[in-house]
Structure 1
């Protein structure tokens, strides 16, 4: 039995694929920015002297890292609906992904923060730097610089994980692929095209993160340290 490949009928749906790719980019961008913010705040919270704050952040991290992303998406989407808050699939997807990536980012940033030697902080305090200046110039920025490759990989994985949001009808790439293959009955060709889209998006994201790292971390660029 021979199978004849036919990409023409699939590629004819390119506007749908572009729409799905654009939604995937928006999901990834929103979740990356908000997840980085939440992760950084929780990483600081885990090192807080306030036992309640530290314990609350630790509980959040452990609860999210030990449950599947798909279950978290269902909890947000159907959970909000059950209490009368009907939100679009896109909003529910962003919320679930922010909550998820925030927990992983917390641990990555915590590792970076803990790598900063106490003597550096004490030296900054001796120079009469404000608390905000110490956190930004001595703790957060150097910490992020040290864990930047790990952050980059985590956010690229997040972009790939957007495919799961098709389960709540978010019209991203995988959801579009499901629709196209049901119309054309060309499953292999459809998912092959989508795989190429995801590969291109991954390469694009890595390139953007590399460029951002070159701009933000000039010391690493001068030393030739990989980002």
Structure 2
């Protein structure tokens, strides 16, 4: 059985692919920032918050880490309207990706906090620094430097996992591939191209973030 490859008409869908790439990168960027904030805040609460707050953070982490991202996405997009909370598909994608990344980021940042020697904290307190300043200027920078590779890996997972947001009609890269395939019926060709694009995005984004991390955390890693 022979198969005749035909990539000739894919150039007519360049604009569709570019829009899909832009949406994928935009979702990744927004969810990374918001998920990072959730991760830092949740790790801080988990490390030094009241017992009830630590219990809530722990329950949130366990819930998200032990349920599929697709189910979380469907819950946000299809479930929240049942409670009277109406959001569009882009907002649902950002919310689901942020919640998902935030849960994993909490555990990663918490591990970074635990890696800081207690002697540094005790020395800072002995010098009269308030607890918030100790966390902000001493603990957090070193913790983030120590776990930055793990955070970076999680961001890559979220970006690649964002392909499922096409299931709620978010016009991302995978949605673009499905759209093109439904028009030209060249499934192998278009999904091969999409695979290559995802691979290229992951490699370039990883290198960019590695360079960013090297600049931000120079000299802070233990």
**Structure 1 residues 129, 100: CA separation in 2 closer, same or farther (over 3 Å shift)?**
same
Query: C-alpha separation between the residues in 2 aligned to 1:193 and 1:97?
Result: 24
Give secondary structure in 2 for the equivalent of 1:7: coil
What residue in structure 2 maps to residue 29 of structure 1?
Answer: 29
What residue in structure 2 maps to residue 89 of structure 1?
Answer: 89
Query: C-alpha separation between the residues in 1 aligned to 2:12 and 2:5?
Result: 15
Q: Does 1:102 align with 2:102?
A: yes
C-alpha contact 1:10 1:186 (8 A) present in aligned 2? no
Query: C-alpha separation between the residues in 1 aligned to 2:186 and 2:40?
Result: 44
Structure 1 residue 84 displacement after superposition: 3.0
Give secondary structure in 1 for the equivalent of 2:9: helix
Structure 1 residue 49 displacement after superposition: 4.7
What residue in structure 1 maps to residue 151 of structure 2?
Answer: 151
**Structure 1 residues 98, 49: CA separation in 2 closer, same or farther (over 3 Å shift)?**
closer
Query: C-alpha separation between the residues in 2 aligned to 1:8 and 1:214?
Result: 42
Structure 1 residue 131 displacement after superposition: 2.8
Number of aligned residue pairs: 222
CA deviation digits over 1:126-153, x for unaligned, max 9?
2222333211221111001000110011
Q: With structure 2 as the length reference, what TM-score do the two structures score?
A: 0.96
C-alpha contact 1:156 1:206 (8 A) present in aligned 2? yes
Decide which moves more: 162-171 or 8-17.
8-17
Query: C-alpha separation between the residues in 2 aligned to 1:83 and 1:157?
Result: 30
Unpaired stretches in structure 1, ≥5 consecutive residues: none
Structure 1 residue 208 displacement after superposition: 1.6
Q: With structure 1 as the length reference, what TM-score do the two structures score?
A: 0.94
Unpaired stretches in structure 2, ≥5 consecutive residues: none
Decide which moves more: 64-73 or 126-135.
126-135
Superposition RMSD in Å: 1.4
C-alpha contact 1:61 1:103 (8 A) present in aligned 2? yes
CA deviation digits over 1:31-80, x for unaligned, max 9?
10000100111111112351101100000000110000000000000112
Q: Does 1:60 align with 2:60?
A: yes
Structure 1 residue 180 displacement after superposition: 0.3
